[in-house]
Structure 1
Amino acid sequence: EFAADGVRYIELRSTPRQNLEKGMTKKNYAETLISVINEINKKGDIYVRLILSIDRKSTLEQAMETVNLAIDLKYTGVVVGVDMCGNTNGGAFSRIKPAFDHAKKNGLYVTLHVAEIPDCREDNLDMTAVSPDRMGHCTYLEEDLLKWAKDNNVAIETCITSNIICRTVKSYDIHPVTEYIKTDQPFAICTDDKGVFSCDLSDEYLIFGCINKFNKKQLFETSKKTINYIMCKD
């Protein structure tokens, strides 16, 4: 579906799962995904990389297990990083922060869902202290941390439809992305969960273009800039 939509490079996210009754470990799960992705990449229509996700409610042990799995599979060239996602009420980030520090120290890219709800200052500070490569949503991120992101070239993964549906942004015309353009804040247009929110990337660019009155050339340049923030060196 992404290839048909014109996407040529994508980073998919998946939380490693296991079913020990059927003999499937988290490593088996990830290796199966990698095998399928390798077959897709061979065709050359779209190039896929994999980010292993960690739910915010995970224990430190569980989070560390996923990080170590990503480190072990980094050699494949498919697994490029780890992500923190999940219910914002799943617990303080500080509980699992050591796992993401470990990921950074071992050469993994890190992206975190940050400031999806208001009044999470301590959590936001803990997450930016990891020095993530990208941050998701950031709809309630404080001005000083937005400045930190800009100064450190940390892109914000902007998911317009998701933010509207989840009501973290009240309307399209006041979406934070309009300010990102004015302040030259690094950002990337994303779909969040394509299946859940029923949105194609091209639709997200159309919405973005309408909000900001961008022409085709400006949309192209916006898309081109995101290459600077991908989790792939080649």
Structure 2
Amino acid sequence: MMSPTLHVPGQDQIRRAPKVLLHDHLDGGLRPGTIVDLALASGYEGLPETEPDKLGIWFREAADSGSLERYLETFAHTCAVMQTREALVRVAAECAEDLAADGVVYAEVRYAPEQHLEAGLTLEEVVEAVNEGFREGERRARLDGNRIRVGALLTAMRHAARSLEIAELANRYRDQGVAGFDIAGAEAGFPPTRHLDAFEYLKRENNHFTIHAGEAFGLPSIWQALQWCGADRLGHGVRIIDDIEVADDGGVKLGRLASYVRDKRIPLELCPTSNLQTGAAASYAEHPIGLLRKLHFRATVNTDNRLMSGTSMSREFEKLTETFGYTLDDMQWFTVNAMKSAFIPFDERLAMINDVIKPGYAELKSEWLFEQTSATSVSSASVD
């Protein structure tokens, strides 16, 4: 939805704009050079490439299969080098640094503790190492003149049977850097209802959780996540588009599930580039985010897996501005949506919106208006 007063922002403005990220996987965002270093240190010999640039390309190409299952296979390599305390601290610290350098001011980064136990760490040691890394990354970001706050989401794998154990772990560390809980992994054949005991426990504890739903599998996955499990947010949720009819004349009719999602302001953690890779959308132009934005769903923009998708929050917004003509107003709308939906207390969300996000966008808009005024003045002077 174009603004009458603001232009489509350029790359520099997009990078400097304050951004909020709700859906990012720790094991999907490693620097290729770090993977090579950690593989050498741990003796892992399974990497398909040992030169960082070539390895980064391999991850992106392997993820471009159009299959969620094939996409998920790439994580075997990143998880393999994330089995020690030192590796987890390093990866988490670099994650926070990289996000902050990209203009992200608040992020919730998810990972599955059960996937980092092969070298003898306990679940608690995994959580404490990642938390330590996030705090270190926040500190380094401040030294670089950037600000970021990172919360962890503990993920249980939907094909496994440890979801209640991971939910209890998330609850124990909820005031020590863990913001909430999630389930992830292949959707088909592993419905969220398999983990009802974990969700019932979290609800009794008044804790937050999101559920990967409506990515590779359709409306039944979304319906179960909301009506049976009580998810606060939908991880992806892009297939809600299946419950929206667009007539030839442009008229739109929402089905009852889509109406419920919009009316209840249930956040959608949309990840455009990742959705293209896994076949949930055919192109940026055809991605449902365009229609969901027009219909005022609680849509948010996210990266999912920065390594596999070769992306960042800035790149996601660049693609959206190129495709839909989004302005700084649109970017602010998506960003405020995300901050409203974060798993931190209301007063802290409000402070981030009023003290960081809105002033940041106001400064960028003023900068653009000044540039326009200056350009007009120069043009008038040259005519005279």
TM normalised by structure 2 equals 0.56
CA distance in structure 2 between the aligned counterparts of 1:4 and 1:40, rounded to whole angstroms = 11
Q: Deviation digits for residues 193-225 of structure 1, max 9, x if unmatched?
A: 111111010010111222221123332333233
Taking the aligned partners of 2:165 and 2:189, their CA distance within structure 1 comes to: 18
Match of 2:214 among 115, 135, 150: 115
Counterpart of 1:125 (choices 223, 226, 245) is 223
Change (3 A) 1:198 1:18: closer
Pair 1:193 & 2:291 matched: no
* Post-superposition offset of 1:166: 1.1
Shift in Å at residue 22 of structure 1? 4.5
2:166: which partner in 1? 66
10-19 or 160-169: bigger deviation: 10-19
* Pairing 1:46-57 to 2, within 5 Å after superposition: 46-57=148-159
Q: Is the 8 A contact 1:153 1:186 kept in 2?
A: yes
- Which of residues 75, 85, 100 in structure 2 aligns to 1:3? 100
Structure 1: state its 5+ residue gaps.
none
**Cα distance in structure 1, aligned partners of 2:259 and 2:274:** 24
In structure 2, the gaps of 5 or more residues are 1-97, 244-254, 349-384
Which residue in 2 is equivalent to 1:137?
236
Query: Are residues 1:40 and 2:137 paired?
Result: yes
Amino acid at match of 1:111: T
1:27 to 121, 124, 127: 124
Percent of aligned positions that are identical: 24
Q: 1:169 aligns with which of 276, 281, 297?
A: 281
Secondary structure of the corresponding residue to residue 83 of structure 1: strand
Question: What amino acid is aligned across from residue 324 of structure 2 in structure 1?
Answer: N
- The secondary structure found in structure 2 opposite 1:100 is helix
- Which residue matches 2:183? 84
The code of the aligned residue for 1:54 comes to: A
Q: Distance in 1 between matches of 2:126 and 2:280?
A: 33
Note if contact 1:117-1:139 (Cα within 8 Å) is conserved in structure 2.
Answer: no
Q: Tell me how far 1:132 sits from its aligned partner.
A: 1.5
Q: 1:50-69 CA deviation, whole Å, 9 max, x = no partner?
A: 0001111022xx10000000
Distance 1:73 1:96 in 2: 20
In structure 2, the partner of 1:149 is 261
Instruction: Indicate the SS of the match to 2:153.
Output: strand
Q: By how many angstroms is 1:90 displaced?
A: 4.8
Q: For CA contacts below 8 A with separation 6 or more, give which structure has more relative contact order.
A: 2
Higher Cα radius of gyration: 2
Could you tell me how far apart the structure 1 residues matched to 2:218 and 2:135 are? 42
* Aligned CA distance change for structure 1 residues 21 and 203 (closer, same or farther; 3 Å): closer
Distance 1:119 1:155 in 2: 17
- What SS does the aligned partner of 1:202 have? helix
CA distance in 2, matches of 1:181, 1:21: 43
On the 8 A contact 2:183/2:212 being kept in 1, the answer is yes
Q: Which residue of 1 aligns with 2:293?
A: 181
What is the CA-CA distance between 1:131 and the residue it aligns to?
A: 2.5
Rounded Cα–Cα distance in structure 2 between residues aligned with 1:23 and 1:117: 33
Aligned to 2:94: none
- Count of aligned residue pairs for this structure pair: 230
| Further displaced range: 153-162 or 14-23 | 14-23
Higher helix share: 2
Distance 1:120 1:228, change over 3 A: closer
Moved more, 181-190 or 85-94: 85-94
For the 8 Å contact 1:18–1:24, the answer to whether it is kept is: no
Q: Distance in 1 between matches of 2:328 and 2:321?
A: 8
TM-score between both structures, scaled by the size of structure 1: 0.90
Q: Quote the Cα distance in structure 2 between the aligned partners of 1:94 and 1:68.
A: 18
- Asked whether the 8 Å contact 1:97–1:126 carries over to 2, the reply is no
